Amino acid sequence: MFGSAFGFLFSNETPKTEESMSVNSAVNFLDNEIDEEIARIKSSTDYDTVRIDNRNVVWREVLSVYTVVTTNRENKFNIMEMNNQNYEKLSEIFWEVVEVEHYTENYKVRYTTTDENGNKVTKTKNKTRLIINVQAMSIEEMMEHYNMSKSEKKQVEQMMDGQFDEMWNAILK
């Protein structure tokens, strides 16, 4: 079990070397990359208001796919430690399954003001809303994207099973 994808659930969260980190730290780094991408989009776009949709990445799904891909393919990784190589692979998988899209939409705002004669006047102003959508593939889409075999899909499904909730909570604390 420790040599399989399930070994990930038993990994020690204490970094073993100077170049390793906890899984939680890796997740935080990637969440920060999303924040940086959102900030880049905001700074390069003219808008009056902003709306961010679907900001939730289901890390348990992403990490389940990561562990199965990295333990079952040609270049197997030792995933008991989140070192630089493993972080780079996690980041690669993450950005393959998570997309940050954006677009703008124009809308009109009506407001009432008073003219110089004291009369109420209704005016319309054009505004632009920036919409940023952070969208992750579903677990099914991820498994399809990585062309997983039946046994790999079964591993992912088993890792998602509720019996591992406590271990996932410890990893993603």
Q: What are the pLDDT digits (tens) for 73-85?
A: 656 666 667 888 8
Give the whole-angstrom CA distance, residue 57 versus residue 64: 13
Cα(29)–Cα(144) distance, rounded to whole angstroms?
Answer: 26
Q: What is the spatial distance between Cα 165 and Cα 168, in angstroms, rounded to a whole number?
A: 5
Enter the pTM of the model. Answer: 0.81
Average pLDDT over residues 9-22: 61
Q: What is the pLDDT of residues 20-33, one digit of tens each?
A: 788 888 899 999 99
Q: Are 152 and 143 in contact (CB under 8 A)?
A: yes
pLDDT, tens digit (0-9, with 9 covering 90-100), for 128-169: 999 999 999 999 999 999 999 999 999 999 988 888 888 888
